[in-house]
Amino acid sequence: MRAKILEKSNNLFLNLGFKSVTMDEIASSLGVSKKTIYKYFENKTQLVAAVTEYIFDTICNGIDGICALEMNPIDELFSIKRLIMEHLKDEKSSPQYQLQKYYPKIYASLKLKQFQVMQGCVIDNLKKGMATGLYRSDIDVQFISRIYFNGMLGIKDKDLFPLNAYAVHTLMNYYLEYHLRAISTEKGLQQLENQLRLK
C-alpha cells in the first residue's frame, strides 16, 4: 500500500503541485480513507519528503541504467534528458518552485543530493567526451560540471522562464544544446546535429 500511495501522490504532486494537493484528494483518488494514508505517513510533510525521495531514486536508477549502456557521451545526455522528462511529466505545476517555497528543508536536502549524484555523472560524461574526442580537451571539468548543474536549476526558475512562455521540454532542449555547443569539438558538433534532427 505504501508504494501505491507514493506513486499516486507523485502523479498528483507533479501535475497539480505540492501545495495544491490535499491529503483528502490523495485518499479519494486511491479509493481509501485518509486514515490509511496516515498509517504510513504521519503528515503531509512526511509524505512530500517520501515522494521526493521516491522520484529521486527512480530517476537515479534510470540514469545508472543509461550510463551502463556505454553509449557516446552526447547520446547519453540526450537519453538522460528524455528519461527525466518522462518522469517529471513536463512539470506543468512547477513542483520545484512549490517545493522550494513551501517545503524549503526538503528542497535544500534534495538539491544537495541532486548535486552529489549529478556532479559524478556529469564529470564521468565530460571525461568520456574528452577521451573520445567529442569534447574539447582543454575544458575545466570541475567548472563545467558545476555550471551545468547551476544552469539546470536556473532553467526551472519560473520568474526567469515563465511556464506560459517556455515549456520545460523546450528549455531542456535549448539548455542541452547550449551546453554541448560550448564544449564540443567538430566531431562532437556532428554528433549533436544528429541528435537535434531526432527531436
Q: Provide, for the chain, the percentages of residues in helix, strand and coil under a 3-state DSSP scheme, each rounded to the nearest 5.
A: 75, 0, 20
| Residue numbers of the domain that contains 103 | 52-198
In a domain, 94, yes or no: yes
Task: Report the alpha-carbon distance of residue 28 to residue 191 in Å, rounded.
Answer: 48
Q: How many Å apart are CA 90 and CA 184, to the nearest integer?
A: 27
**What does the pLDDT read at residue 122?**
95
For residue 99, being part of any structural domain is answered with yes
Considering the domain boundaries, does residue 96 fall inside one? Answer: yes
pLDDT tens track for 65-122? 999 999 999 999 999 999 988 887 655 556 777 888 899 999 999 999 999 988 999 9
47 lies in some domain: no
Provide the CATH number for the domain around residue 102: 1.10.357.10
The count of structural domains within the chain is 1
Q: Determine, yes or no, domain membership for 112.
A: yes
**Is residue 139 in some structural domain?**
yes
Question: For residue 15, is it within any domain?
Answer: no
All residue ranges of the chain with pLDDT < 70 are 89-94, 199
